[in-house]
Amino acid sequence: MYKGKLKQILLITDGYSNHGEDPLAVSSLAQEYGITVNVIGILDENVQSGDGLKEIEEIARAGGGISQVVYTKQLSQTVQMVTRKAMTQTIQGFVNKELKQILGDSNSIESLPPSKREEVYEVVEDIGETVGLEVIILVDTSASMKDKLETVKESLFDLQISLNSRTGENAYSLFIFPGKHDDVDKLLDWTPKLEKLNTIFPKLTMGGMTPTGPALREALNYFNEQNYNRGNNSDDEQSIEWAD
């Protein structure tokens, strides 16, 4: 389990999807592939309630992840918290599965007495600290996100500070939707550092539809493509082992 990698999609948006396939369906599919979908909804400071953002909760639930609706100024704190919490939750999910196999279906970490639970969580924490993590970040760049993009960048840098303080390795990839010509554009290929965002983000043109479903689909394909490539290309795998 230590050698495995956790895979997450982090979706940052401020509204309903209005183009392409149903994001809930893609999100459910992602969970089947072992990919967690977390969603963060950004609320305008002058808006009182987030009724329009009910969709994000549903997407996260379908993707086995966590959702949170926040005001722009709380974004940094939330992005890193949601990501780390989702990691712990995924690991707990693995542990629960194992427990069910050993102890029977009705058992989970919570059904253990507190003293046993403490031991299990210690292991969960160890894994959370050392496990490799791959995150595909999906950023909504429709018109309404224009003045929030700077904060999004800040919060991603902040996420990087938190995750890169772990012992485990991290890789990030970043997509925006809608893209210039297509529904989705890839801005960053797998990288352990997000500094390039400083030069990429200011050049973005904002506007258009909100194709959340297609964006999730693209991220899912990207994860699977990578697996496929690694599976076939033995050179690649060797080089990774060698690097370790």
Partner 1 sequence: MMNNQLNGQINLAPGTLITGKWNKNKYEIKSLLGNGANGTVYLASGKTGDVAIKLSKDSTNITNEVNVLKKITQVQDSILGPSFIDVDDYINPATNECCYYYVMEYVNGVSLPKFIERNGMEWSSIFIIQVLSLLDKLHHKGFIFGDLKTDNLLVTKEPNKIQWIDFGGVTQIGRAVKEFTEFFDRGYWGLGSRKAEISYDLFAVTMIFIHLHCKKQFLKNGLGINQIEQVIMQTQTLNPYKEFLMKGLKGEYVSASAMKQALLMYEQKINATKKKKSKKDQATTAQTMNQTRQSKKQNQTANQSTQSNKHSQSTNQPRNSTSQNQKPNQSTQTRAGNNVHVKQKKKRFHWFETSTILLLMGLAYALYFYYQL
Question: Which residues form the interface with partner 1 (CB under 8 A)?
Answer: 57, 60-61, 64, 66-68, 76-78, 81-82, 85, 88-89, 92-93, 108-110, 113-114, 117-118, 121-122, 124-125, 129, 158, 161-167
**Choice between 66 and 156, CB closer to partner 1:** 66
We find the least distance from the C-beta atom of residue 7 to partner 1, in angstroms, to be: 17
Burial letters 173-203, b for 16+ CB under 10 A, else e: bbbbbbbeeebbbebbeeeeebeebeeebee
Report whether the peptide linkage leading into residue 214 is cis, meaning its omega lies within 30 degrees of zero. no
Structure tokens at 66: 């966590």
**Choice between 158 and 185, CB closer to partner 1:** 158
Partners of 137 in the β-ladder:
10, 174
**Choice between 109 and 188, CB closer to partner 1:** 109
**Choice between 31 and 226, CB closer to partner 1:** 31
- The Cβ of residue 135 has, within 10 Å, a number of other Cβ atoms equal to 24
We find the least distance from the C-beta atom of residue 208 to partner 1, in angstroms, to be: 29
Alpha carbon 228 to chain centroid distance?
20
We find the least distance from the C-beta atom of residue 181 to partner 1, in angstroms, to be: 34
We find the least distance from the C-beta atom of residue 166 to partner 1, in angstroms, to be: 4
**Choice between 40 and 176, CB closer to partner 1:** 40
Task: DSSP letter for 1, please.
Answer: -
